[in-house]
Structure 1
Amino acid sequence: MPLLRRPHLDAGHLTSLISEFDGVESVRINAAAASVTIGYDGKAATRQAILDRLSALSPSALAFHNGESEPSVTPLVLRAALFLVLPVLPATLGRVVVWGSIAPRVFRGVWSLLTQGVTVEVLDATAVSLGAARGRYGTALLTDELMATGDYLEETTERHSEDLLSHLLYRHPSSVWVERNGDVVKVPFADLDMGEIVVVGIGELIPVDGLVRNGAAQVNQASVTGESVPVGKEAGDRVIAGSIVENGRIRIEARQVGDETTTARIAAFIHESLTAKSETERVAEEFANQRVLTTLGLGLATFLLTRDITRVMSVLLIDYSCAVKLSAPVAIRSMMSEAADRGVLIKGGPSIEALSKVDTVVFDKTGTLTRGDLAITDIVSLAPQDWSEDRLLAMAASIEEHARHPVAAAIVRVARERGAPHVAHDDIDVEIAHGLRTRVDGEAVLIGSRHFLQDHEGIALSTYEDTAQALSAQGKMLLYIAFGGRAVGIIALRDELRTDSAETVRRLRASGVRRLIMLTGDRKQRAEALAEGLGLDGVFAELQPEDKAEIVKQLGEDGCRTAFVGDGINDAPALATADVGIAMPRGADIARATADIVLLQDSLGLVADAREASRTAMDIIRSNFRAAIGINSGLYVVASTGWLGPVAAATLHNGTTLALLGRACPQAGSRQ
């Protein structure tokens, strides 16, 4: 296939294009051999469709890498073969082929010297040139081979650290199945509009963010959320582009298409992350570049003191820059990949470095420390002789089912679970921000806040003060019910804590976080009860939305390094103000766009996962830095004394660099 010979071809993109065809079961591309192997269902029609599509492919339909082409092992094999036959070659021919072999490295060194000054390339070129100039062609060739092998392995490891994130870079399919005019037709993805009905069956990729209109399916969301277990989806459930239907068939109303889908925004997030360098990475690169001059100076000093060119070669082949410069980005990208597998997207090195230094974590309450879904905790009858709990619940649910707010939803949900009967009532009057009014069996019924019943409607509630205080002290919201002019019941609700909230608090403290603070618009008594139960260090209650960012800003001015965890539209200013903004998965789009870290699974424990992983990554970078300095300094000493020849110096230096890179990228071999 001629297209496969084009430089920088993105084989993964071509694989996804071919995999879309109906009946295709597997795709394997060998770019080096310019061949593609496709497994399909054996049908002649499928085979012909694939051949027709492949023959029609043009370069404009393919994707290409912006960077350099994949490293090739071929030059290493040819150089090794040359080294083996060098002893039997005529002397003149041997000199020519050796100089020809090392010429690319020498030219790179000269070009680097002219354009960038003294760099690692200059040191390497000088070392191999000195060996060849002294007639030690075997040493020069073997040294060049060892350096080339080191370059190949380093480049492969660094590239792999980026490729670890490739499973998140979702690409749009070329076509989708859509219902139009009563028929299901295949249309180009670019022609798909919001609101259209997309049909997805077994083994197919969900191409849009949307709402299931009918059907049922088991959907694998691992590529997006990291969840390994398929999730059941049916009418009313949301689905995410990039998920795969493993069983079943569903009709989906497209809510976001193209670049607006979750996976497309994740891809943009990752692309931005790969270009963002942390201060640690910048310092490491600057230090590495400075050490090149140190190496050159040590080589010159060695020559002036010993006049031994062999020792000079050995010294020049040892430098700090490779391990120091590469270790930081490799560790950062490896950590980003590991976090993504757990369901955490991190916006590059700066966010990892900042999170590792955080000493204060600020939580928004609703939807973060709590689930964001109210649950009924108590149904208290104030007239038990006439009103049982079941009767109170049935009447409240029959009235509240006409309302649209979290309290009403919680009451209706529990009534349905208990099989409560429907209670007939007159038309509902809504008192905005207060409650509901209607009539049942000719009697007036009021459901709402204490303020509504007591201050607006004159219902006596003082008799039940102790009961109300006891419930409120537990952080519960109270809904009062009156029938025929007297109070008959109280329904207590609470936004339940996440099951992992307390454990997350404990883990964050263990990771070095000194202060844990909660912000909420709830009443002070209710907020303090929840904060005390979690063991938080502070709570700010009865806040307006704009107050959150101001509190985070003040903490920063007081010297705290802050992380803010939230999910709402009004959390965006606080997310942007904090040193690190962390958005929950059900958060508003603006919150997710503002955040430095986005959680893909609805688990607060991922905040602790991200914190622990960031500290581990920074610890690895710092320890690798110290190891590179210590080991290479020791090699300098040994090389300058003449106890370490050029070949051994190159071997030990490259071995050290690769060992440190392997430690920085523990997943390097796990996904080959």
Structure 2
Amino acid sequence: MTRLRTWARGTWAVPVVSGVLILLSFALQHLAGGAWNAAVAPQWWIDAGEHAHTAASTFTLADVAMLAAAAVAGYRILLQAARALTARVIGIDLLVSVAALGAVVIGNFWESAAVTFLFAVGHALESATLTKTRSALAELVAVAPDTAVVLRDGAQVHVPAGQVQVGETVLVKNGAKVPVDGIVLDGTGALEEASITGESIPVEKSAQDQVFAGTVSRGGFLQVTATGIGADTTLARIIHRVEEAQDAKARTQAFIDRFSSWYTPAVMVLALVAGLVTQDVVLALTLLVIGCPGALVISIPVAIVAGIGRAARNGILIKGGEFLETAARISAVAVDKTGTLTEGRPELTDVVVLSPTMDRRDVLRWAAAAEAGSEHPLARPILDTARAEGVGAVGLPGSVTPVPGKGIVSVVDGQRVLIGNAALLEQYGVVDEVGAGRQAHELAAAGRTPMIIALGGTVIGVVAVADQVRTDAAAMVRGLHEAGVRKVVMLTGDTRLVAEAMGEVTGIEEIHASLLPEDKLEAVARLQTEGHTVAMVGDGVNDAPALATADIGVAMGAAGSAVAVETADIALMGDNLLKLPEAISLARRTAAVMRQNITIALVTVVLLLAGVFGGGVTMSIGMLVHEASVLVVILNAMRLLRTRQGTTRASRSQRMAPQAVVADAV
């Protein structure tokens, strides 16, 4: 009984019951001699006039069954139309309701039942196929873990995932889902992170590595300290973002909605005028049916839902339909270097001693002491190397003054220490008498980032750091061009020599080096004035102004950043650069599907109108073609959910990509 009630509330109950009643009506009409006919019509119906059904004085059981079919299929449509009218909205439901009621009034019960039945079937099929287009979101929800194994008082306790407390130790065994975001406390294992990053290859995890809820252990045993639970997990944020994005309207969709708000009343006026001029009520009602803009209204949102869902399944979060449309027009991509084109893990490669009174350890010690209070990414490799060689900084410098684009000035033990480029020395009046500039030039030409160190007014040495170029950087540049991007530009604070070394490796031809954050903003604005739709890829810190100015801001490796997931126009959850051309290619395909759907919808209406005025298109045929057009645009959008082979080719290119070492400037 419960199952029957569930089915009755389902999408298919109404069209099934209506269809059975239509078949029953045909069966009753087919029975010989009209033996089943009974005069059940009230006198008011018989007196309705010459348009009464078959102009007869009898109202058959077949008619009753057909009317019942129309009522079963049409009552929800009529209710929706009434609700829309109370909100001062003239929608598709009103057109169908007027047409169906009009058909009943003129005694055309079959057309009324056919129109409402087909509309109900179309609605059920639309719901089913739209659910399919939202399958990516359903898959994300499905991977959310239900239970967790928590270590409490030395014992393993099974609890609902939502009841884990931040700071508790969670055990992740082979084959289990990770129930929380956290940091690996102990153990090793391999996690499949496809639900987060879109990459199906398991990632090795060990102590201090970050793990995400919804990922699956494919081997090993991990003890994880919970840092995010429930709605605070990366998976929950992704689900929330995809929900919002799929419901957000694109500019084209907003235009179509405005167009429909005027188009639907216009169809009603056209039908009324046509009926009055031709004195043909059937023609007027048929115009109402074939004028339904259903395919047009649904053409855009179904494509957006499918496109954003496909992207989310691949580890690409797009903020909404508007940004999807904008991404389809991207013609220029500006990329930061450090952490985007490079791994973002620079290492100290050179310590050049230029003072006769000092050795390597002395130069390294002063460099580390100066950088101890710096927040710059290049401070870390200097500090790590100094610590490893036993000359790490003790305490903090007296003061640290960043000089944007040049370096830093620190006070250590009462002495001023400069660490940066030649422009920093010049600003503070330090004369280079030992060839530090020449040494820095040679190191930069080799693809390393040099930093000159001056103690007081004397240059004592040069240190250099380098960062590994991502293996997929060159493949990304090629992929962007294949996706239709005309220009790829590197924006970096590093020196031109280092940037050009990177350009040779990655294939980026236009390079803007030695830039301050505001210079990057100006570079993006300049591209826009040239007519480009610009995407900016950066780390969101030094590049924040440029990211905000660009038409599309792209965040790399956003899985570990709640802010990036919520704020980036496009968030690439993993560190795979090939996701960027994939995102742009998908956006272009989605925009193409949107255009195709609009064309299908409009051509269908024009052909139906021609068929009505030319003869041959009835109400039922018009509704059948209308619903078919709705399904065609939905099925066309569902093509976006298919996996393409381009990713496989890109992966091969990634394995063949060359490597180099470069890093960003101080």
TM-score range, shorter chain: 0.7 to 0.9
Deviation, structure 1 residue 574: 3.4
Q: Give the distance between the partners of 2:351 and 2:392, measured in 1 at CA.
A: 24
Deviation, structure 1 residue 110: 5.9
Cα deviation 1:572-594 (Å, max 9, x = unaligned): 44333322111111575434432
Cα deviation 1:633-659 (Å, max 9, x = unaligned): 011111222222222222222212211
Checking the alignment, whether the CA contact within 8 Å between 1:226 and 1:341 is kept in structure 2 is yes
Q: Which residue of 2 aligns with 1:614?
A: 587
SS at match of 1:194: coil
Checking the alignment, whether the CA contact within 8 Å between 1:582 and 1:597 is kept in structure 2 is yes
Deviation, structure 1 residue 428: 7.7
Deviation, structure 1 residue 150: 1.4
Task: Check if 1:214 corresponds to 2:186.
Answer: yes
Q: Which residue of 1 aligns with 2:15?
A: 76
Deviation, structure 1 residue 625: 0.9
Checking the alignment, whether the CA contact within 8 Å between 1:572 and 1:594 is kept in structure 2 is no
Task: Check if 1:654 corresponds to 2:617.
Answer: no
Checking the alignment, whether the CA contact within 8 Å between 2:189 and 2:220 is kept in structure 1 is yes
Deviation, structure 1 residue 414: 11
Q: Give the distance between the partners of 1:5 and 1:223, measured in 2 at CA.
A: 36
Change (3 A) 1:309 1:261: same
Change (3 A) 1:428 1:546: same
Q: Give the distance between the partners of 2:618 and 2:389, measured in 1 at CA.
A: 94
Deviation, structure 1 residue 547: 5.1
Q: Which residue of 2 aligns with 1:541?
A: 514
Change (3 A) 1:231 1:268: same
Q: Give the distance between the partners of 2:542 and 2:396, measured in 1 at CA.
A: 27
Q: Give the distance between the partners of 2:492 and 2:552, measured in 1 at CA.
A: 19
What code does the residue aligned with 1:108 have?
L
Q: Give the distance between the partners of 1:564 and 1:110, measured in 2 at CA.
A: 46
Task: Check if 1:348 corresponds to 2:287.
Answer: no
Task: Check if 1:193 corresponds to 2:165.
Answer: yes
SS at match of 1:371: coil
Task: Name the stretch that deviates more: 116-125 or 403-412.
Answer: 403-412
> Which of these residues, 295, 310, 316, is aligned with residue 338 of structure 1?
310
Q: Which residue of 1 aligns with 2:648?
A: none
Change (3 A) 1:151 1:223: same
Cα deviation 1:229-264 (Å, max 9, x = unaligned): 222222232111111223332100122233322112
Q: Which residue of 2 aligns with 1:95?
A: 63
Q: Which residue of 1 aligns with 2:240?
A: 268
> Which of these residues, 195, 200, 220, is aligned with residue 248 of structure 1?
220
SS at match of 1:637: helix
Q: Which residue of 2 aligns with 1:239?
A: 211
SS at match of 1:86: helix
Aligned residues: 583
Q: Give the distance between the partners of 2:491 and 2:222, measured in 1 at CA.
A: 41
Task: Name the stretch that deviates more: 338-347 or 203-212.
Answer: 203-212
Deviation, structure 1 residue 81: 1.7
Larger relative contact order (Cα-Cα within 8 Å, sequence gap ≥ 6) = 2
Q: Which residue of 1 aligns with 2:491?
A: 519
Q: Give the distance between the partners of 2:642 and 2:622, measured in 1 at CA.
A: 26
> Which of these residues, 323, 326, 348, is aligned with residue 298 of structure 2?
326
> Which of these residues, 557, 580, 583, is aligned with residue 585 of structure 1?
557
Q: Which residue of 2 aligns with 1:565?
A: 537
Q: Give the distance between the partners of 1:500 and 1:289, measured in 2 at CA.
A: 48
Change (3 A) 1:542 1:125: closer
SS at match of 1:292: helix
Q: Give the distance between the partners of 2:618 and 2:434, measured in 1 at CA.
A: 93
> Which of these residues, 264, 283, 288, is aligned with residue 260 of structure 2?
288
Checking the alignment, whether the CA contact within 8 Å between 2:141 and 2:239 is kept in structure 1 is yes
Task: Name the stretch that deviates more: 470-479 or 611-620.
Answer: 470-479
Change (3 A) 1:308 1:109: farther
Gaps of 5+ in 2: 29-35, 38-58, 401-407, 644-666
Change (3 A) 1:609 1:77: same
Change (3 A) 1:144 1:475: same
Task: Check if 1:180 corresponds to 2:152.
Answer: yes
Q: Give the distance between the partners of 1:110 and 1:656, measured in 2 at CA.
A: 22
Deviation, structure 1 residue 663: 0.5
SS at match of 1:177: strand
What code does the residue aligned with 1:98 have?
M
Q: Give the distance between the partners of 1:669 and 1:152, measured in 2 at CA.
A: 23
Task: Name the stretch that deviates more: 590-599 or 101-110.
Answer: 101-110
What code does the residue aligned with 1:209 have?
D
Q: Give the distance between the partners of 2:308 and 2:421, measured in 1 at CA.
A: 50
Q: Which residue of 1 aligns with 2:176?
A: 204
Q: Give the distance between the partners of 2:524 and 2:640, measured in 1 at CA.
A: 36
Q: Equivalences for 1:627-646 in 2 at 5 Å?
A: 627-646=600-619
Q: Equivalences for 1:220-231 in 2 at 5 Å?
A: 220-231=192-203
Deviation, structure 1 residue 351: 1.0
Q: Give the distance between the partners of 1:550 and 1:408, measured in 2 at CA.
A: 27
Task: Name the stretch that deviates more: 191-200 or 276-285.
Answer: 191-200
Q: Give the distance between the partners of 1:526 and 1:333, measured in 2 at CA.
A: 43
RMSD: 4.5
Q: Which residue of 1 aligns with 2:572?
A: 599
Q: Give the distance between the partners of 1:425 and 1:641, measured in 2 at CA.
A: 93
Deviation, structure 1 residue 548: 4.1
Cα deviation 1:295-347 (Å, max 9, x = unaligned): 32443344345434443343322125111110101101101111112210111
SS at match of 2:134: helix
What code does the residue aligned with 1:154 have?
E
Checking the alignment, whether the CA contact within 8 Å between 2:192 and 2:202 is kept in structure 1 is yes
Q: Which residue of 2 aligns with 1:165?
A: 137
TM-score by length of 2: 0.74
TM-score by length of 1: 0.74
> Which of these residues, 478, 485, 503, is aligned with residue 506 of structure 1?
478
Checking the alignment, whether the CA contact within 8 Å between 1:524 and 1:542 is kept in structure 2 is no
SS at match of 1:317: helix
Task: Check if 1:475 corresponds to 2:443.
Answer: no
What code does the residue aligned with 1:319 have?
G
Checking the alignment, whether the CA contact within 8 Å between 1:285 and 1:324 is kept in structure 2 is no
Gaps of 5+ in 1: 7-30, 34-68, 383-390, 416-421, 438-445
Deviation, structure 1 residue 531: 4.2
Q: Give the distance between the partners of 2:288 and 2:393, measured in 1 at CA.
A: 90
Checking the alignment, whether the CA contact within 8 Å between 1:120 and 1:321 is kept in structure 2 is yes
Cα deviation 1:488-531 (Å, max 9, x = unaligned): 99875432332332332333344443443333222344334434
Q: Give the distance between the partners of 1:327 and 1:663, measured in 2 at CA.
A: 9
Change (3 A) 1:203 1:379: same
SS at match of 1:569: coil
Q: Give the distance between the partners of 1:667 and 1:612, measured in 2 at CA.
A: 11
Checking the alignment, whether the CA contact within 8 Å between 1:110 and 1:122 is kept in structure 2 is yes
SS at match of 2:200: coil
Checking the alignment, whether the CA contact within 8 Å between 1:584 and 1:598 is kept in structure 2 is yes
What code does the residue aligned with 2:111 have?
T
Cα deviation 1:2-56 (Å, max 9, x = unaligned): 7x999xxxxxxxxxxxxxxxxxxxxxxxx649xxxxxxxxxxxxxxxxxxxxxxx
Q: Give the distance between the partners of 2:550 and 2:432, measured in 1 at CA.
A: 46
Task: Name the stretch that deviates more: 175-184 or 649-658.
Answer: 175-184
Checking the alignment, whether the CA contact within 8 Å between 1:112 and 1:118 is kept in structure 2 is no
Q: Equivalences for 1:16-35 in 2 at 5 Å?
A: 32=7
Checking the alignment, whether the CA contact within 8 Å between 1:358 and 1:513 is kept in structure 2 is yes
Deviation, structure 1 residue 140: 2.8
Q: Give the distance between the partners of 1:426 and 1:562, measured in 2 at CA.
A: 44
Q: Give the distance between the partners of 2:431 and 2:146, measured in 1 at CA.
A: 66
What code does the residue aligned with 1:96 have?
V
